[in-house]
Structure 1
Amino acid sequence: MKGKELERKKHEVLSMKVPIKVIKFELKFEVTRDFGIPGAFVVENRDKKHEFFLKSVTLHYIKHPDLEERKFHFYCRSWVYPITKTGFKRIFFSDQLYLPKETPKGLVELRKKELLKLQAPRLKGEWNPWDRIYDYDVYNDLRDPEKGRSYDRPVLGDSTKFPYPRRLKTSHLNCQHVDHSRESGPARCFQFYVPPDERMSNEKLQELKNNFVEALIRFLAPESTPPHLWDQECPDFVTKVAHFFVPKAAISKKDVRFIRSIIDFCRKLKLPSSHGGPNRSDPSEEQDIFEDIIGFYADKEVEELDDSDKQRLEKLVPKEILDQVVATLALKRQHVSAQLPSIIAEEKFAAFAEEEFGRQMLAGTNPVRIRRLKEEDMEIFQERYPGIELKDLESLLKEPMEANRAFILDHNYFEQFLKMINGKGVCAYATRTILIADESSYETIIPVAIELSLPEDSDGGRSKFLVEANCSPVLWELAKFHVASNDAAYHQLVSHWLHTHAVVEPFIIATRRRLSVIHPIHRLLDPHFKDTLHINALARAIFLNAGGILETLLFTGEYSMELSSYLYKEWRFDKQALPEDLLERGMAKPRVRDEVVSGLMEHVERDKSSNKAATGAEQKKFEVDAEVELVLEDYPYAKDGIEIWTAIETWVTEYCNIFYHNDNDVKEDEEIQEWWNEIQTEGHADRKEGWYDINTFESLVKALTTLIWITSGLHAAVNFGQYGYGGWPPNRPMLLRKFLPKEEEMEGKHIMKFVEEMLPDKFQMKLAIAVMDLLSRHTSDEVYLGQTSPQKERPFIEDHESIIQKKFQEFRENLEAIERNINERNKEYLLMNRWGYAKIPYKLLYPDTSKSMRPTSKEKGKYHPEKTDINERGIPNSISI
């Protein structure tokens, strides 16, 4: 078929005005008999206005003596813009994969030409939506100095003072006033440059907007007819308790009130201390304020926003989001319902248990900071607290330290920022928390001492003091609030943003610039980069920007990103490999080789009795796992994570084995060497340490496994539990407005008022809940680890088809075996850290591979929670939320 005929057919389609769907063309071309195997084709869009999305192309010969039955696939999935805008034709390659030195002669120049286009010259002026340009830039787009000095922020990156990973260059014009070196933001929040193939689909973008609108309505819109709290809880209470004795329908409200009176009487009794100290007051004394917060989640009808809340939201959320909230509420009263956060779903006071506080360091939303207590840590304590003050604690820690069962949660780095942070309604300490695990208590860990620090010249007395668990119960609980606040800020800024979103972005840019689409490693990594550049751009525009949501919610305020820059100085890529991370933190130790076999056999024997589905592949996987031994066997994040890590490593090894036969193949791969060099010298130019020397097959596998782990397992572990744990603000308050109370403020009649004034204000708490809800949701087009994409992943073809498909199927089977292992462990009642007092099964690293498609819970015009726990939806391939 000639070009003019194809152009005519395209115009016919564009003029039909039909809903978006896949349109299939069948075309015939005439070529000479000796044309050979097609390896690439060129497309030119001659329409002057419209782009089109080319999904795939399949070519095959109709009459050829040797190649008649053979089909040649081209997996395109890319936007083709008018040539009058782009100035060049698009090149698409077949699905056959080649290392650079194996590229057929006819494709060599095309391969290089396509990469040069993506690398792009340093163009001046704003880039257009059709520009396929991948380039690096510093973080100079977070501030808005034209609004005033309070919106100014330092440039992050290319600086010894403020080092940072590079971001995708968006080429917005620089500020016209104040500071010309700083990039201005887009005119509207959702209008910024992202290369066409990196943009999330319009459907997903709209789904994210709708989720944001729903969350704001659900938690910020005031209720029109508030029911009594007990009436809200009554159905849930009846379901959980009363129906065990009589049919649910037979219980009246009078019966419920009688049962409630018994429960209330029991709760007024003093509870024994879990650590042998004085009895502590029952949480029912604090019932009023906490039940008021629980009211945020109640079924209710809502009406228009309060004026004060609306004014605050106007400064925080994009105008189109707020307009949609207002428009939705203006139509009619909305009935909304919220899924209770997991931490209070079973027992609203479970979060205050000592064991639950410790468990969340191993299985909560930030299980990556705790480390083993070292002698050097104790030396620091001894310097600060000489004599009798530390004697009891040293005695308590002697035995656990010898047994490697003493731990520390160290947030002391905050201290140097406190002079800048404290004030304007924020009262923060830098904290260091000592915890111990007791084998007799099934490896539950409990805090035994908390150090709270202020800058040396702070007013009001001592700058550092130690609070021990046997002190005043009120003082102890309030000290734990400050620990949780420190940990929440570190989690958001470092564990979540910096160590996943930010550090991966340069890898994506380098992959697009240096690895051809027909390079095997490009194909391997591509599913793990889906939507990340776009979601990061959204984060910079809404959450991380000056005066944005995170600065409003976190106690670190305007110094939030500066703090993450400070902690980037410690970042090393090699330490993000899960085994290396666990060894570095002292949460695991190397297992010598003769222990590997016995450890493996012990695990296999245990699995035979509990899981008859254990397979030979699973045994092989555990043999690799046994190279590290966990200090705490009941460390859910590490236990499940090591299995996921090993499954990924096995898949990457088998995949790379198809293309690389020895170390020389890796050394001679010019694209891989340029890719790795550019990541270090441009993408992460501020970090000179922690890089593998990719000259061997083993180091290449380790680097790729680490990268895939960060984008999948690590991100899932630190992201999708946010609503389950952080959706209950008293469990993880993002800021506190009071230092520890003075003695007279700790009397019973004053303490509830103190706690209320200490926690964030109601707007901040409700906004935090809405944000946690948004960030914890999976979108309907999510692609999960080991699953088939809803759009059907491109086939692996030609010589590599059968072996890659076979190895990928083994990867999937390994993940399914891990699912069975996790389910079995979650049934084991002695593994207290997998459930805890809040009865939350640990499923943040549950692959859920057996489900290839997930129904969405969205119903047009309805606002209601997910029907299944949002913590249990699987591990996405990529950082796409």
Structure 2
Amino acid sequence: MGIFPPCDSSEVMEKLLGSVCGKTRDDPIPTPSKIKGKVVLMKKNVMDSTDLWASFVDRVHEVFGRGISLQLISAEHFDSNDPKRGRLGKQAYLEDWVTKLTSLKAEDEACYDVEFDDCLGIPGAFVVRNRHHSQIYLKSLTLDDVPGHAGPLHFVCDSWVYPSRRYDSDRLFFSNKAYLPSETPPPLIVYREQELKNLRGKGSGELKEWDRVYDYAFYNDLGSPEKGEDHARPVLGGPAYPYPRRARTGRAPNKKDPNTESRLFLLNLNIYVPRDEKFTQVKFSDFIGYAIKSVGQVLVPEIKAVFDKTFNEFDTYNDILSIYEKRTQLPDDKSLAKIKDCVPWELLRELIRSDGERFLNFPVPEVIQADNTAWRTDEEFGREMLAGVNPVVIRLLEEFPPRSKLDTEVYGNQDSVITREEMEKNMNDLTVDEAIEKKKLFILDHHDALMPYLRRINTTSTKTYATRTLLLLEDDGTLKPLAIELSLPHESGDSHGAVSRVFTPCQGGVGGMIWQLAKAYAAVNDSGFHQLISHWLNTHAVIEPFSIATNRQMSTLHPIYKLLKPHFRDTIHINALARHTLINAGGILETTVFPGRYAMEMSSLVYSNWNFTDQALPKDLLKRGMAVPDPSRPHGLRLLIEDYPFAVDGLEIWSAINLWVAEYCSLYYPTDEKVTGDVELQSWWKEVREVGHGDLSDKPWWPEMATRNDLIECCTIVIWVASALHAAVNFGQYAYAGYLPNRPTVSRRFMPEPGSPEYAELEHEENHEAAFLKTITAQFQTLLGVSLIEMLSRHSTDEIYLGQRETPYWTGDQQPVRAFERFSASLVEIEDRIKNRNLDPALRNRTGPVQMPYMLLYPNTSDETKKGGLNVKGIPNSVSI
């Protein structure tokens, strides 16, 4: 008693707690002052001008003072009433909210002034309360003249803020300064932890549009069992069908099957994903516009086909070319009257207009722009394995004959029956053994992936084979196909092995047509594998769990969150839309790609052998035998095919990403102990392995996340897969497969046998085109598939590309900003080298017989791609389409 001088209790608390933040007991408390700020946002009526009621109610709320309020949170001083939380400033309201006129354009933003009372100390976060009827899109808050802070203080929000009544706790946003968890200013720790808790949700219940919950679920929303057995699909995820997890919606179980989640009506695209993961209004408008345009392009030829001599068939290559070359003239009204019962013409006529014309044709795919027959050549067939839309499967042939890895007790002998004699007749006097020793034989092998499902697949309208294609590396760097093996399950049962036939190159006559068909069967396999595995599974599906875990376990303050977040943009939403209309039972993929109803189940079998570390490009190339170690090279590899466009350009992009990630991570993790001591990082990695990819959690190849090198490797792989790998296997789809004879997705009859009516067709040259087209994808499937890949191959007008950030204020730390500028500059240099390689006539695989330069890994850092559209150039940051 009497030891301490009398003072206000809050002052004692302030001084005691201030010492925790590095303040001494005698530091004076700063004098409060005013802080001016600017808020950038978009109102609901701007984003949805048709919601007049919401706009009216919001205006009424504003008149009565129910607007937008903000409170700053100190990063330096605790609240006197709550010793765990930073001091809260007084509420401040946006100025001129009612009187400021705002545009009705979705992409336009409005800037509002706001004035705060000082929260005492530099603000580290702020609370926002929306008292309106409708949500707003909060872009940013910028504070000027903050005492103790040099220059403007930025808060990058980029988030939808719903009315406060929708939330159980206040919405808050942190400044753009990055902190490891252990280095977080103490007054912000509880806010950091609470925000992550909010994002994880409760793990149950149906999620609503204003919820911000990131959670996991099995792929149990693909089937519609209430429609019958044909529409039921197995749940993907778990021991029976391992699969990555997807974002949970919490919809009710299907009434027919409680293990299956109920589905929305097909035209209802309001699927739950965390609101900030949804497409922007600009992108969603683009997406819907492209979809409607594509529907029109499907309908016109289908209407015309009613009057063709062969309904639902292209009769000649010229029939196919006609869908590209000019505007299609519809049948007259009298003719249309004949088909009014089978075509919803009156309903769709007004929806599918474009530029004042009734319908537009498909753009001409690049593969036939310079020469519409060059796609048939053997050289182009081989080149597309190195520079096409699926350049990630071909591998070195290291033993002959090729051997299967399928269980012989279940599948019998599945080894290849190709003979040396069949190979060597086209090997330029080389023997098979010599070519293997010189590393000149390569294989495109789809046998083992397809054979377990082939019997079931062929019970449908599909009639196809499991294929192996062997190729020789020529002295000029091109690949010459030597043999194609077509295999079927044995009629007596799987355990009896495969029944295989081998075909070798032939030019002209029946033999030439048979060889063309053999290449088509191989292309059908490759097209299906590309869509299901190289594209969907290995980019879309495997990245989604990383996005979910990043939002659940790493704060927006975390430096690795700031590094990775741009590479998850739109991924959860595009995957949700894919489950709704593309990969679901009876969806577009099942309709247009040969595995049909077994497609997703088959991808589960392939995922069971997926390996995260193998997704690193150098390791992938080594594993496929396409490269050997070479320490003298910048990336440590020497390619066995020096003119391998995907690998050459990809290694440069990979190396640039790896250098950027290494430089960035080293700024925040100077030691390995910083990695192991980062609780958020370790929780993130644990959840990725044990939940997001939980079916493979026991695999020994997962990095331990015990060193800085582990962290650099993992982040580099994630960024590579989400950006460059996805670009390489996605944006060339229309360029190569928009002309479907080049990349057929379905085969409808088996190879003709001598003496059969189908073989007799081949004996008359005038029937060759019709015979080929009757074998591959039918007209409706072709048009539907082409319309889909046209839409998926387009860049959005608001896309963000590798080497770009949505805002220059993505971080408040200057060293990472400068490192990122160096990364962006390195991509510009890579562009120049790609241009030069494409102009080098000695590099024949860069353009090939079709004269199509390889541009799928061209970063395009200029503004050229910002206009969007059908452009093979440009590497978006994320799996965004």
TM tier relative to shorter chain? 0.7 to 0.9
Q: Is the 8 A contact 2:292 2:351 kept in 1?
A: no
**Who is 1:30 aligned against?**
117
Letter paired with 1:149 = E
The structure-2 alpha-carbon separation of the partners of 1:762 and 1:55, relative to structure 1 and needing over 3 Å to count, comes to: same
The answer on whether the counterparts of 1:435 and 1:447 sit within 8 Å (CA) in structure 2 is yes
C-alpha distance in structure 2 between counterparts of 1:309 and 1:680, whole Å:
55
Match of 1:362 among 386, 390, 405: 386
Partner of 1:537: 576
Residue type of the alignment partner of 1:147: K
Pairwise mapping of residues 370-389 of structure 1 onto structure 2 (< 5 A)?
370-375=394-399, 377-378=401-402, 385=417
Asked if residue 142 in structure 1 is aligned to residue 222 in structure 2, the reply is yes
Distance 2:570 2:605 in 1: 27
Q: In the alignment, which residue of structure 2 is the partner of 1:431?
A: 467
Aligned partner letter, 1:771: L
Range 496-505 or range 812-821, more displaced: 812-821
Provide, for residues 803-852 of structure 1, a one-character-per-residue CA deviation record: whole Å limited to 9, x for no partner.
22221111111111111110111011011110110011000000111337
Counterpart of 1:297 in structure 2 is 324
Contact 2:68 2:131 in 1 (8 A): no
Q: Which residue of the other structure, out of 755, 762, 772, is the alignment partner of 2:772?
A: 755
Task: Tell me how far apart the structure 1 counterparts of residues 651 and 702 of structure 2 sit (CA, whole Å).
Answer: 21
Match of 1:283 in 2: none
Contact 1:223 1:300 in 2 (8 A): no
Q: How does 1:256-275 map to 2 (within 5 A)?
A: none
Mark the CA change 1:461 to 1:410 in structure 2 (over 3 Å): closer, same or farther.
closer
- SS of the residue 2:752 aligns to: coil
- Superposed CA deviations along residues 203-227 of structure 1, whole A, max 9, x for unmatched, are 211111101111232343149999x
Q: Which residue of 2 aligns with 1:676?
A: 685
Task: Find out whether 1:496 has 2:535 as its counterpart.
Answer: yes
Instruction: Please tell me whether the aligned partners of residues 225 and 300 of structure 1 are also in contact (alpha carbons under 8 angstroms).
Output: no
* TM-fit CA distance, 1:45: 1.8
Aligned residue in 1 for 2:432:
397
Higher relative contact order (CA 8 A, sep 6+): 1
- Who is 1:162 aligned against? 241
Secondary structure of the structure 2 residue equivalent to 1:694? coil
1:506 aligns with 2:548: no
Please say if residues 641 and 845 of structure 1, whose CA atoms lie closer than 8 Å, have aligned partners that are also in contact: yes
SS for the counterpart of 1:454 is strand
CA separation of 1:844/1:51 partners in 2, compared to 1, >3 Å: closer, same or farther? same
After superposition, the Cα gap between the structure-2 partners of 1:189 and 1:457, relative to the gap in structure 1 and judged at 3 Å, is same
Name the count of aligned residue pairs: 758
Q: 1:410 aligns with which of 430, 442, 445?
A: 445
Q: In the TM superposition, what are the counterparts of 1:634-645 in structure 2 within 5 Å?
A: 634-645=643-654
Aligned residue in 1 for 2:611: 572
The C-alpha deviation readout for 1:577-607, integer Å capped at 9, x for no partner, is 000000000001111x4xx1xxxxxxxxxxx
Give 1:525 shift. Answer: 0.7
Superposition map of 1:281-680 within 5 A: 289-303=316-330, 327-329=351-353, 333-375=357-399, 377-378=401-402, 385=417, 392=424, 396-413=431-448, 414-439=450-475, 442-457=476-491, 463-470=499-506, 472-591=511-630, 593=631, 596=632, 624-625=634-635, 627-680=636-689
| Distance (Å, rounded) in 2 between the aligned partners of 1:575 and 1:741 | 40
Q: Is residue 798–residue 868 contact of structure 2 (8 Å, CA) maintained in 1?
A: no
The structure with more strand, counted as a fraction of residues: 2
Would you say the 8 A contact 2:138–2:157 is kept in 1? Answer: yes
Conserved? CA contact 1:222–1:302, under 8 Å = no
Q: Is contact 2:66–2:131 with CA below 8 Å preserved after alignment?
A: no
Amino acid aligned to 2:634: V
Note if 1:133 corresponds to 2:133. no
Structure-1-length-normalised TM-score = 0.81
Specify the alignment match of 2:50 in structure 1. Answer: none
Q: Deviations over 1:107-137 (max 9, x none)?
A: 111111110111111222x211101101000
1:782 equivalent in structure 2: 799
1:303–1:329 Cα contact (<8 Å) kept: no
**Unmatched 5+ stretches in structure 1:** 227-285, 315-320, 597-622, 858-865
Q: Please state how far the C-alpha of 1:400 moved relative to its aligned partner.
A: 1.8
340-349 or 668-677, which deviates more: 340-349
Pairing 1:806–2:818 present: yes
Check conservation: 2:231, 2:585, Cα contact below 8 A: yes
Q: Secondary structure at 1:26's aligned position in 2?
A: strand
Contact 1:427 1:737 in 2 (8 A): yes
- Compared CA separation, residues 422 and 46, structure 1 to 2 (3 A): same
SS of aligned partner of 2:123: coil
Could you tell me whether the CA contact under 8 Å between 1:449 and 1:466 is conserved in 2?
yes
Asked if 1:52 is matched to 2:86, the reply is no
Q: Cα gap change, 1:23/1:379 in structure 2, threshold over 3 Å: closer, same or farther? A: closer
Q: What is residue 796 of structure 1 aligned with on the other side?
A: 811
Is the CA contact 2:569–2:880 (under 8 Å) kept in the aligned structure 1?
yes
**What displacement does 1:796 show?**
2.9
Q: 2:818 & 2:232 partners in 1: Cα distance? A: 54
Cα distance in 1 between the residues matched to 2:320 and 2:859: 33
User: How far apart are residue 399 of structure 1 and its match?
Assistant: 2.3
Q: Separation in 2 of the partners of 1:665 and 1:152?
A: 49
Q: Tell me which residue corresponds to 1:318.
A: none
Q: 2:156 aligns with which of 58, 62, 75?
A: 75
- CA contact under 8 A between 1:366 and 1:718: conserved in structure 2? yes
Distance 1:77-1:324 versus aligned 2 partners, 3 A rule: farther
Mapped to 2, the partners of 1:92 and 1:322 lie a distance apart of: 50
Distance of 1:353 and 1:4 partners within structure 2? 70
| Counterparts in 2 of 1:313 and 1:761: CA distance versus 1, 3 Å | farther
Distance in 2 between residues matched to 1:561 and 1:225, nearest whole Å: 33
Name the CA distance, whole Å, in 2 between partners of 1:795 and 1:445: 46
Task: Measure, in 2, the Cα distance between the counterparts of 1:385 and 1:633.
Answer: 30
The residue identity in structure 1 corresponding to 2:519 is: K
Deviation at 1:854? 2.5
Identity %: 40
CA RMSD across the alignment: 3.1
Give 1:753 deviation, angstroms.
Answer: 3.7
Give the structure 2 partner of residue 262 of structure 1: none
**Residue 749 (structure 2) pairs with residue 738 (structure 1):** yes
Q: CA deviation at 1:389?
A: 6.5
Q: Which among 245, 251, 263 is matched to residue 185 of structure 1?
A: 263
- In structure 2, which of residues 280, 294, 302 is the aligned counterpart of residue 201 of structure 1? 280
Summarize the Cα distance change of 1:856–1:153 in structure 2 as closer, same or farther, 3 Å threshold: closer
**How many angstroms does 1:382 deviate by?**
11
Residues 457 and 183 (structure 1), Cα distance of their counterparts in 2 relative to 1, 3 Å cut? same
Give the structure with the higher percent helix.
1
What letter matches 2:622 in structure 1? Answer: L
Q: Which residue of 1 aligns with 2:296?
A: 217
Task: Tell me how far apart the structure 1 counterparts of residues 354 and 689 of structure 2 sit (CA, whole Å).
Answer: 52
Instruction: Specify which of 254, 276, 300 is matched with residue 175 of structure 1.
Output: 254
**What amino acid does structure 1 have at the position aligned with 2:642?**
E
Name the CA shift for 1:308/1:682 in 2 (closer, same or farther; >3 Å). Answer: farther
Q: CA deviation at 1:531?
A: 0.7
| Larger displacement relative to structure 2 (287-296 or 739-748) | 287-296
Q: Where does residue 829 of structure 1 map in the other structure?
A: 841
Deviation at 1:499, TM superposition (A): 0.1
Distance 2:371 2:467 in 1: 27
Provide closer, same or farther for how the CA distance between residues 309 and 837 of structure 1 changes in structure 2, counting only shifts above 3 A: farther
The CA deviation at 1:94 is 0.7
Preserved CA contact (<8 Å) 2:567 2:722: yes
1:778-824 per-position Cα deviation (integer Å, ceiling 9, x unaligned): 010011111343xx342532xx21x2222111111111111111011
Hey, what does 1:43 align to over in structure 2?
128
Is contact 1:660-1:697 (8 Å) kept? yes
Distance in structure 1 (CA, Å) of the matches to 2:864 and 2:769: 49
Q: Does 1:840 align with 2:840?
A: no
Structure 1 pair 322/546, CA: closer, same or farther in 2 (3 Å)? farther
Residue aligned with 2:472, SS: strand
